[in-house]
Amino acid sequence: MARAQDEVTADMVALPAMQRRLCSAQLRQGAGCATDSAPEWRLLSCAFLLAALLPAGVRAHSTDVAEARSAILGRDINALAEVLKRSPKVAKSRDTTGVPLLSHAAMVGSQRIVRMLLDLGADPNIYHLEKVTTASHMAAGLSKGDVLAVLLSRGGDPDFADIRGRTPAHMAVQRGSLDALKVLVKHGAKLDKKDLRGRTAMHYGADMGRHEMCLALIASGASPNIRDGRGQTPLRLAAVGGKRKTAQLLMQKGAQVDVFSLVALADADSLLKLLRKEPKVVNLRDHDKSTPLHWAADRQLSEITKILLDNGASIDARNSVPYSALHLALRKRSPEIVRLLLSKGASVDAFAAVGLGRLDRLQDELATRPGFVKSKDGDAMTPLHWAACCGQLKVARLLLARGADVGARTDEGLAALHLAAQKGHRELIKLLLEKGADVDAVSKDGGTPLFWAGAAGNVVTMKLLISNGANVNAQDTRGYTRLHLAAWFNELDSVKFLLQNAANPNLRDHKKRTPLHLAAQYRRRAVAKVLLAHNADRDAVDAHGWTPADHARMSGDAAMAKLLAPRKPHRMDKQEE
């Protein structure tokens, strides 16, 4: 059945629209439906129906596509030449996942294979059906500058935008490939082209702290002052991300300095100079109506907070939620900033009173407004959420005694238990569980409290949750387990703890990747070794047919690729002849 399905799906994109609709209609009427999340490919699940609709020649062609793909991934020139001689039109094809063979050739970095396909009529701008990425995106994103040069010289569009609006320049900068960027500049790429978020390649470089890429972009004529869809400049992204060296470079190269960037950089001297020169900027608003004071409180910058207050910052200004600086300081558990704001006369509303643990104020509020116990703020946080977030155990007990809903959710689908887990408030976690909180409560993105405890790096809290029945192998909406995320973000202690507590190292995410694939992709060698020691499958293949070793090669980590070498034969391990 699986082989039959493979044979009939490869050329589905070539079917007339009417025939595709017929297939889809028959499937809906009971012939079967795939579980694949991509609607366009759901109809591919019924191999028998498609086999009846597709002529034998198409099925034979699909087999040739599969053989050609295998030869390309294995860099097997002779095998590929045989397939292309037998069926030249294969060069123009996509595989069963919608990926053009030309993109696979770009991925393995073979100029020779790329030329073979182009010589037989492959469109240099053929794109991945789902992601709308071209071979040029692949080459730029994998630092294959020589392959990129071939593609562009044969008609590849240096400004082709994928489904997220990203051009090859965005991909080159994201990868940190100066060679690819130089090739794109040589072929006239528009470096200030924006993606769907309004971000240019410069934004990407600044956000990732790739100062050398930003320098090359500026030298090639890119602007450091373009704003994205949220009004953020590359400088602000660098500042917010703590990429100080990149921020300094951008300022040296003419980036316009703004008050929010200086606050994020905690640059007190420069901030004072700006406030003396332009005093009104102290109360400017960003895209969500936050002021510089909101930024300082949210980032727990007490010195900057004081400077802003001393220079006329509006202490009770509300953002779009609407929160004041005091609300943010309470949620971030910043006692020094809370004290400073209160000493300067910050207003305390009922939610702030909960965060401060003011039982008398809360009792008065409940006496005059009993419904407050179930009320919600602009983020849909109830008083119980506030108590859980701020670690106010006594307040939480009072609220629960007055009828607070232990399972109430925020706009993000978070229960109070998620927030208590994130902050590591263990006594609150115990209280909430005693009162019936769901230990595996799922947020809108599928995250459980265990995910939130893990994201905070709190192994002790994870242990408490697991001891109370938390599912260590729970998966979010993208198929990630907490182990996937720990491997991705190089959280070695969490990886060890999770594996010691029955985490499955071989569960798959939405792209059929295991935690080992992610460790390989992001060069987490120590994590990979621990996963292997706990029986992670080094031979596992993802949705593209790639093993962890393949991902290691694509990330440029030869040592990791050697560590992860598959035990079973894999075509990609063969050398190009």
SS3 for 200-236 is: CHHHHHHHCCCHHHHHHHHHCCCCCCCCCCCCCCHHH
Q: What is the pLDDT of residue 62?
A: 76
**355 and 294 assigned to the same domain:** no
Burial class (CB in 10 A: 0-12, 13-18, 19+), 22: middle
Q: Is the Cβ–Cβ distance between 433 and 439 less than 8 Å?
A: yes
What one-character DSSP code corresponds to residue 320? S
**355 and 467 assigned to the same domain:** yes
Longest alpha-carbon distance in the chain: 85
Q: Cα separation of 569 and 289, whole Å?
A: 57
Count of beta carbons in the 10 Å neighbourhood of residue 464: 21
Examine the fold and report which residue of 424, 450, 471 is the final residue of a domain before the chain moves on.
Answer: 471
Q: What is the pLDDT of residue 572?
A: 41
Task: Give the residues of the chain that fall short of pLDDT 70.
Answer: 1-61, 568-577
* Type of residue at 401: A
Angle at which helices 2-9 and 56-73 cross, to 10°? 100
Q: Is the Cβ–Cβ distance between 38 and 543 less than 8 Å?
A: no
* 440: in domain: yes
**337 and 352 assigned to the same domain:** no
**357 and 332 assigned to the same domain:** no
Residues facing 338 on adjacent strands: none
* 1: in domain: no
Task: Label residue 510 left, alpha or beta by phi (over 0 means left) and psi (-120 to 50 means alpha).
Answer: alpha
Examine the fold and report which residue of 440, 471, 502 is the final residue of a domain before the chain moves on.
Answer: 471
User: Which residue in this structure is represented by tokens 């509020």?
Assistant: 365
Q: Is the Cβ–Cβ distance between 341 and 315 less than 8 Å?
A: yes
Q: What is the pLDDT of residue 61?
A: 64
**352 and 457 assigned to the same domain:** yes
Q: What is the CATH number of the domain that holds 303?
A: 1.25.40.20
* 48: in domain: no
Number of independent structural domains in the chain: 3
**451 and 355 assigned to the same domain:** yes
Q: Cα separation of 65 and 87, whole Å?
A: 9
Phi, psi angles (nearest 5°) of residue 492: -60, -45
* 49: in domain: no
Q: Tokens representing 212?
A: 């050398």
Count of CA atoms in the C-beta half-sphere (13 A) of 286: 22
Burial class (CB in 10 A: 0-12, 13-18, 19+), 235: buried
Residue from 69, 64, 20 nearest 42 by CA: 20
Quickly list H helices, 253-334: 259-264, 268-277, 292-298, 302-310, 325-331
Examine the fold and report which residue of 311, 343, 375 is the final residue of a domain before the chain moves on.
Answer: 343
**364 and 327 assigned to the same domain:** no
For 501, the domain range is 479-577
Q: Is the Cβ–Cβ distance between 350 and 387 less than 8 Å?
A: no
Q: Is the Cβ–Cβ distance between 108 and 75 less than 8 Å?
A: yes
CA angle 161, 170, 13 (to 5 degrees): 35
* 248: in domain: no
**333 and 302 assigned to the same domain:** yes
**298 and 355 assigned to the same domain:** no
| pTM, rounded to two decimals | 0.82
Phi, psi angles (nearest 5°) of residue 250: -60, -40
Quickly list H helices, 480-547: 482-488, 492-500, 515-521, 525-533
User: Which residue in this structure is represented by tokens 């702290």?
Assistant: 209
Q: What is the pLDDT of residue 568?
A: 67
Q: What is the pLDDT of residue 131?
A: 86
* 408: in domain: yes
Q: What is the pLDDT of residue 26?
A: 36
Q: Cα separation of 362 and 112, whole Å?
A: 73
Phi, psi angles (nearest 5°) of residue 134: -105, 175
Q: What is the pLDDT of residue 116?
A: 98
Distances (CA, A) of 284 to 267, 292, 473: 17, 7, 45
Residue from 517, 533, 459, 519 nearest 489 by CA: 519
**332 and 359 assigned to the same domain:** no
**466 and 362 assigned to the same domain:** yes
Q: What is the pLDDT of residue 569?
A: 57
The DSSP string of 365-421 is HHHH-GGGGG---TT---HHHHHHHHT-HHHHHHHHHTT--TT---TT---HHHHHH
Count of beta carbons in the 10 Å neighbourhood of residue 136: 35
**333 and 419 assigned to the same domain:** no
* 19: in domain: no
* 542: in domain: yes
Q: What is the pLDDT of residue 12?
A: 34
Length of the chain: 577
Distances (CA, A) of 468 to 168, 432, 463: 48, 12, 9
